[in-house]
């Protein structure tokens, strides 16, 4: 089971600060002693994700709100599926509605996208990776969603892994210099190098890179890269990759395919919160 990140509380606190601020002026019209019941429905097929953020929204607003879930994060649902039921003070329900749904819609969209990519690679032995192309401030949340959807997380940020890209190579002087310096400064940390052709691949292999990112390689060059590399390094294909081309790329023998679109090009899942009684 994928574990939610430790950022949930802070994510929700920031979201409520920008949405509710000093108070919900419209919700103040509802008597404080009035209770309500509501349901959340998915209007389209999706992979559900975001329960911890949804729950935390109402916990921070009003612990008296009770939520009963019918699904778990990572579950596939059809359209018109009942996701959860809520009951509690009516003014708290209406105040938290948009903030809670924003998290649930975005993260379900990310998980749904990841699932579609993971399904396209099922049985190939190649894994789909996310990238750092995430919504600012919600990287841990979106990477959790990717995992819920069956994808694999790449590095969280610049602090937990080394990925030497074109600008690093230019500044360091060469692939060899960049890899050698990385190994000296951070022994034991995996070193990945982005290359743009087979000659750069050969240099990265000779320098001792652990993972090599093959940027915008043609299928025949991906195959050649696998043959040249053997078991000396793991290979990751990336760059303008469309979902319909995943199977062909996997057939070249690469270990990973990284796709920024999983987290960058998501469209919020259509969810609806409906009041049944106030």
Report the pLDDT averaged over residues 211-235. 98
Residue 34: active-site member: no
Residue 192: active-site member: no
Beta carbons of 270 and 48 less than 8 angstroms apart: no
Catalytic residue among 11, 192, 194, 255: 194
Pairing of strands 81-89, 162-164: unpaired
Catalytic residue among 196, 210, 215, 221: 215
Residue 2 has a pLDDT of 85
Residue 215: active-site member: yes
Summarised one tens digit per residue, pLDDT across range 65-107 is 999 999 999 999 999 999 999 999 999 999 999 999 999 999 9
Q: In angstroms, rounded to a whole number, what is the distance separating the alpha carbons of residues 53 and 5? A: 10
Strand residue runs (E) in 158-232: 162-164, 191-195, 211-215
Beta carbons of 100 and 20 less than 8 angstroms apart: no
Residue 276 has a pLDDT of 83
Catalytic residue among 132, 165, 232, 234: 165
pTM: 0.94
Name every residue whose Cβ is closer than 8 Å to that of residue 218 and which is 6 or more positions away in sequence: none
Residue 76: active-site member: no
Q: In angstroms, rounded to a whole number, what is the distance separating the alpha carbons of residues 208 and 210? A: 6
Summarised one tens digit per residue, pLDDT across range 153-168 is 999 999 999 999 999 9
Catalytic residue among 13, 14, 43, 98: 98
Nearest in space to 182 (alpha carbons), one of 143, 208, 149: 208
Residue 97: active-site member: no
Strand residue runs (E) in the chain: 35-42, 46-47, 66-69, 76-77, 81-89, 127-129, 162-164, 191-195, 211-215, 234-238, 256-258, 271-277
Buried b (16+ CB within 10 A) or exposed e, 115-147: bbbbebbeeeebbbbbbeebeeebbbbbbbbbb
Q: In angstroms, rounded to a whole number, what is the distance separating the alpha carbons of residues 129 and 121? A: 11
| Residue 4 pLDDT level (bands cut at 50, 70, 90) | very high
pLDDT at 277 over 80: no
Question: Mean pLDDT of all residues in the chain?
Answer: 96
Catalytic residue among 59, 76, 132, 133: 133
State the DSSP H helix or E strand holding residue 143, giving kind and residue range, or none if neither: helix 139-148
Beta carbons of 116 and 76 less than 8 angstroms apart: no
* Cα 4–chain centre separation: 12
């Amino acid at each position: 089971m994928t574990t939610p990140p430790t950022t949930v509380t802070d994510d929700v606190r920031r979201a409520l600060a920008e949405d509710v601020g000093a108070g919900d002026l419209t919700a103040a019209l509802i008597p404080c002693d009035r209770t309500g019941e509501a349901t959340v429905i998915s209007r389209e097929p999706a992979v559900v994700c975001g329960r911890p953020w949804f729950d935390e929204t109402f916990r921070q607003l009003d612990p008296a709100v009770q939520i009963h879930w019918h699904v778990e994060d990572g579950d596939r649902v059809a359209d018109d599926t009942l996701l959860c039921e809520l009951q509690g003070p009516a003014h708290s329900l209406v105040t938290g509605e948009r903030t809670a749904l924003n998290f649930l819609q975005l993260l379900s969209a990310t998980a749904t996208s990841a699932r579609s990519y993971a399904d396209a690679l099922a049985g190939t032995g190649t894994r789909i990776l996310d990238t750092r192309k995430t919504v600012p401030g919600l990287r841990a949340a979106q990477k959790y969603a990717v995992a819920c959807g069956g994808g694999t997380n790449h590095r969280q940020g610049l602090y937990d892994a080394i990925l030497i890209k074109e600008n690093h190579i230019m500044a360091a002087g060469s692939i060899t210099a960049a890899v050698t310096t990385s190994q000296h400064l951070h022994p034991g940390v995996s070193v990945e190098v982005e290359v743009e052709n087979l000659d750069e691949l050969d240099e990265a292999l000779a320098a001792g890179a652990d993972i090599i990112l093959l940027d915008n390689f043609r299928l025949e060059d991906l195959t050649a890269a696998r043959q040249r590399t053997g078991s000396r390094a793991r290979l990751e294909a990336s760059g303008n990759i469309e979902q319909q081309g995943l199977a062909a790329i996997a057939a070249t023998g690469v270990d990973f395919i990284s796709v920024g679109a999983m987290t960058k090009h998501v469209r919020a899942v259509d969810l609806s919160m409906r009041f049944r009684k106030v």
